[in-house]
Amino acid sequence: MKFSVLLIILLLSGSLTMAQDLSVEKSIFGAQIGLLGIWAHNEFRMSNELAFRTELGLDSGIWYRDNDYYSDYGFVMAPVISVEPRWYYNMKKREAKGKRLDGNGFNFLSLRISYHPDWFVFSNEDVDLVSDISFIPSWGIRRNLGKHFNFETGAGIGYRYVFSQDSGFEDDYDEIAVNLMFKIGYKFKTKKQP
């Protein structure tokens, strides 16, 4: 009986230790490029499954106009500041399948909060930048490509508020916002949990 109790305690303590070791990285610093932008980010651990991501970069957009008088295209890049709490939820499943766990290579749910300030803009046309803030619940995945490279893809739909009056336009307005992402990244620095 004592042996059974001791064995159960040892098994439980071993599984608890393993569960404590299974965690997101303590800190990750990297850069990513996508079809519509370039960003630098830092992601730090809040708990075993939660990370808080901060991001600074340039979001971009393209357009094409064609009417009876002329046709043209446009390209714009504008600064963006984002914060994003992420819940990485499939750690145990990936571990059980023997998949890579480093660099937070998991599936995640997040709330992406992005602010586009009207500081400057790069464009091939004269464009007035209007500040906005968006709140977009998103789903995504991150996977590793070698030791330092990774990719992320995901999607979400949420809310965007545009500060038109700050830029001299008539009224502020709100609208539905969409987050579609595919990013290739380079991981500069990772701090593992001690």
DSSP states of 34-100: ETTEEEEEEEEESSSSEEEEEEEEEEEEEEEEE-SS-EEEEEEEEEEEEEEEEEE--HHHHHHTT--
Q: How far apart are CA 83 and CA 89, in angstroms?
A: 19
Q: Phi first, then psi: what are they for 147, rounded to 5°?
A: -75, -40
- The CATH number of residue 29's host domain is 2.40.160
Would you say the C-alpha torsion 99, 100, 105, 108 has a positive or negative sign?
positive
Q: What was the pLDDT predicted at 166?
A: 60
Q: What was the pLDDT predicted at 36?
A: 87
Mean pLDDT confidence for 59-71: 79
Q: What was the pLDDT predicted at 5?
A: 44
* pLDDT, tens digit (0-9, with 9 covering 90-100), for 117-154: 989 999 888 877 889 999 999 999 999 998 899 999 99
* pLDDT, tens digit (0-9, with 9 covering 90-100), for 3-20: 444 444 444 444 343 445
Domain encompassing residue 78:
2-191
Strand, helix or coil at 12? helix
Q: 10 Å Cβ neighbour count for 116?
A: 21
Q: What was the pLDDT predicted at 102?
A: 87
Domain count, the chain: 1
* pLDDT, tens digit (0-9, with 9 covering 90-100), for 72-111: 788 899 999 999 999 999 999 999 998 888 889 999 999 9
What pLDDT band is residue 46 in, cutting at 50, 70 and 90? very high
pTM listed for this prediction: 0.79
